[in-house]
Amino acid sequence: MSNHSVAETKNQLSELIDRAEKGEEIVITRHGRPVAKISAVAPERKPEPITQEAIDWLKTHLVAGKIPKEDAGASVSRMRDEDWPR
């Protein structure tokens, strides 16, 4: 990690970004106090495709092996609207 003033950062921004891409954290200071940080952004992960094996696993591990007839939001709404003992 290296510290650079705002003025240094303005003059060397491209170089500092290159260093951040390589994994270095750059701290920007104003009047000697840290105020910001430049760091690399993690690459975006693509979701894995849903396989038939995954679907089969879900079907066998559902509660009592049944697929719910209503989604979670509908279940919560129904429970809220029914006269539940408190």
Domains and CATH numbers, the chain: 2-38 (3.40.1620), 52-81 (no CATH)
- The pLDDT-based confidence of 72 (bands split at 50, 70, 90) is confident
Q: How far apart are CA 45 and CA 34, in angstroms?
A: 31
| Mean pLDDT value across residues 42-71 | 81
Tell me the pTM: 0.51
CA distances from 23 to 18, 20, 38, 71, 78 (A): 9, 5, 10, 43, 51
Q: Given this model, what pLDDT does residue 53 score?
A: 92
